[in-house]
Amino acid sequence: MWIERKVLAQEIPAVAGMDTRQLCELLASLGFPVDGVVQREGTEVLDVDITANRGDVMSHRGAAREISAKLGQPLAPIPAAGQPEGPPVVPVRLESPACPVYSTAVLELGRGETPQGIQAFLSALEASAKKLPAVDASNELLHRYGHPTHAFDADRIKGAVTVRWAEAGESVVTLDGVARSLTAQDLVIADESGPIALAGVMGGDSTKVTEATTRVLLESAYFDAKTVRAMARRHSLHTDASHRFGRGADRAMPRVARDLLVDRLQTWCGAKLVGAWTAGSEGLASPAVVLEERLMNRVAGEPVPLAEAAEAFQRLGCAVEAAGDHLKVVPPSWRHDLSIAEDLAEEVLRLRGYERIPSVLPPLEGPPEPLSPLYLQRQRVSRRLAHLGFHQTVTYGFISPEADAAFSAPGNEPGGRTLANPLGQEYSVMRGSLLPSLRAAAEQNLRQGAREVRLFELAPTYASGPKGPVEQYALGVVWGGIRGGEDYLSPARAVVEADLGGVAQALGLESLPQVRPLGEGLFAFEVPVTALPQPTTRIIPAFRPFSRFPVVERDLSLLVDLGQSHAVLAQAMKAALPADALQDLRCVDVFRHKSLPEGRQAWLMRLRFQAERTLVGEEVDGWMASALAAAESLGARLRA
């Protein structure tokens, strides 16, 4: 909200001598930070941030009231000449409790213009003057005192004025020229022809004030906040008036604002008052709220004398009654945010200054809880992968249905994970797999000239369930491009599927996950985090003895079929060997060449033996013979 400095100083003279920075800090200390200061119309204008609970501060008067309370400095009086009220010129009927009071007046406009100073004030607030005194006065009043009012062309109103709920099927063309169809939840101002304004939101086109207008009917009412909020939302019509009524206006203001408006029109253009009157009444004061000393002191973190608190409330315009260890506080008509004791405590702290709050560490009342194993596991896996050379990515949880379909598990129907109101089709499905996002990130890196790409993500994936999407953390790893070749010792080669197998093994995955090709030289796997080894409760695993006797290492070069499974071969060979002596058996080299018999390849199998004694050559020879025999039974031959 824009606050013009000179006008603010007219409401609270104490700020006239303040420098801008001081004023900004003062407003921030009250809870209204200043987002910027600009020069407009030869004056300084502050962009003040008003929180949603404080509609009462959305005016120069409102901001001044806050400053006055904080500084204990007086506000300028409101120069309202109380207009004598008389009988209604036009009948006004209030048919809904959403409008308890409606002050109005009918005036005959004279000749005259909106004063230059007022036009400049409105321009400074980026609210351009319409040069129609009735319209400009209403607008100026809103920014100055915060109470929205409206002027109708009285000659275009047909018969009595009623504030009532709209009937289904009714409509009104608002000032912006848009035809609005109404519902029974819309509060309208109506004449005998039907609705002529959306109450508290916007006036109607058929009764608007123009240059031809000679008689105006003023409206200065109170409209229920919730009703106005709902209407503004329903019609997507967020106006200066709806912002203020929607946050709660001042019930005591309708008559005052009407009088101020009449006064302006009389002064600016010699308007003649035909009659002023009020329908309904302002209603009862807000209920009292009790603030106990104990709660006040607990919130403040130190004893706050009740007398000091009482004084703060008085400065804020509350009625206060002290009673022993508590205060009974009746908030002023403009405050709608003071309904519980904590609200009151905050007010006292605000006026005392948050800088006075002591700084104390809260005592532990019970033992701290450990971090959950699942959380710790994700932390460890992330670090492990980062140390293995992978970069952690963060990608959006929603992807396109096409990308999702390519990777989600069969049976994981996208319907249960689809957003009703996505940003666009490409962000519409909560992903069933991390791989589409990882592929996109990997391809983007390769396009950008990366020689090698290694990425991983740990994030929830979604599965459609009867009660809604079920989330499960998954790990996705993608690797592609050329590895090595960046120094004189590491040869360059393309990343292959087996490299991903190595990563899976390094992470301790019990069974190798399915490695999926994601495109040219790009491979990936994805596993639910639950498949990763869980941290055990043991700090250090149980001791397992190991042999200190020498290791015997033997190689066996075999010719095997091109389709031979290593796992099967190794299993068969292991089965033929003493489990207590065989330490390891694996293929350490694969040789494929046209010099070999067609359909065959050469595998160099390395066997390591170790036992709780020194092994003798003959027994190892015997084992090697058994191993070979086992291999031969699967069609392998010793390579000559």
Partner 1 sequence: MDQLLPAEIVEAGGAFQGALAACADLDALLRLKGAYVGRDGSHASRLMERLKAAPKEQKRDLGAAINALKQQWEEGLKVRQAELEAAKKSLHAQASQWDPTLPPPVPAHGALHPLNRLMDRLVDVFRPLGFHVEEGPEAETEAHNFDGLNIPEDHPAKASSDTFYFAAHPELLLRTHTSPVQVRTLLRVAPTLAERGGIRFLAPGRVYRKDEIDPTHSPMFHQVEGMLVGHNIGMQHLKGTLEYALRALFGPHTEIRLRPSYFPFVEPGCEVDVSCPLCGAKGCRVCKGSGWVEILGAGLIHPNVLSYAGIDPTEWSGWAFGMGVERMSMMLSQTPDLRLFFENDQRFLSAMGGLD
Kindly tell me which of 261 and 381 has the beta carbon lying closer to partner 1. Answer: 381
Length of the chain in terms of residues written: 640
Kindly tell me which of 287 and 362 has the beta carbon lying closer to partner 1. Answer: 362
Smallest Cα–Cα separation from 454: which of 487, 499, 408, 492? 499
Structure tokens, 416: 């249960």
Cβ–Cβ < 8 Å for 174, 205: yes
> Least CB distance from residue 485 to partner 1, whole Å?
11
Kindly tell me which of 236 and 595 has the beta carbon lying closer to partner 1. Answer: 236
Cβ–Cβ < 8 Å for 220, 149: yes
Kindly tell me which of 302 and 555 has the beta carbon lying closer to partner 1. Answer: 302
Q: Tell me whether strands 470-483 and 493-494 are parallel, antiparallel or unpaired.
A: antiparallel
Longest C-alpha distance within the chain, in Å?
Answer: 127
Cβ–Cβ < 8 Å for 575, 630: yes
Kindly tell me which of 54 and 235 has the beta carbon lying closer to partner 1. Answer: 54
> Least CB distance from residue 47 to partner 1, whole Å?
13
> Least CB distance from residue 606 to partner 1, whole Å?
24
Kindly tell me which of 82 and 449 has the beta carbon lying closer to partner 1. Answer: 449
Alpha-carbon distance values, 386 to 125, 457, 497 (Å): 54, 11, 20
Kindly tell me which of 199 and 216 has the beta carbon lying closer to partner 1. Answer: 199
Kindly tell me which of 170 and 499 has the beta carbon lying closer to partner 1. Answer: 499
Q: Is 439 helix (H, G, I), strand (E, B) or coil?
A: helix
Distance CA 558, CA 252 (A): 100
Cβ–Cβ < 8 Å for 330, 319: yes
Kindly tell me which of 387 and 593 has the beta carbon lying closer to partner 1. Answer: 387
Chain centroid to CA 140: 35
> Least CB distance from residue 342 to partner 1, whole Å?
4
Name the β-bridge partners of 482. 494
Structure tokens, 534: 């869980």
> Least CB distance from residue 220 to partner 1, whole Å?
25
> Least CB distance from residue 415 to partner 1, whole Å?
6
Q: Tell me whether strands 187-191 and 161-165 are parallel, antiparallel or unpaired.
A: antiparallel
> Least CB distance from residue 318 to partner 1, whole Å?
17
Kindly tell me which of 112 and 481 has the beta carbon lying closer to partner 1. Answer: 481
Angle between helices 20-29 and 60-71 (to 10 degrees): 80
Residues 6+ apart with CB under 8 A from 448: none
Angle between helices 133-145 and 240-247 (to 10 degrees): 40
Residues 6+ apart with CB under 8 A from 158: 191, 192, 193
Question: In b/e form, how buried is each residue of 60-87, taking b as 16+ CB within 10 angstroms?
Answer: bbbbbbbbbbbeeeebeeeebeebebee
> Least CB distance from residue 247 to partner 1, whole Å?
11
> Least CB distance from residue 434 to partner 1, whole Å?
12
Instruction: Read off the amino acid at residue 358.
Output: P
> Least CB distance from residue 138 to partner 1, whole Å?
26
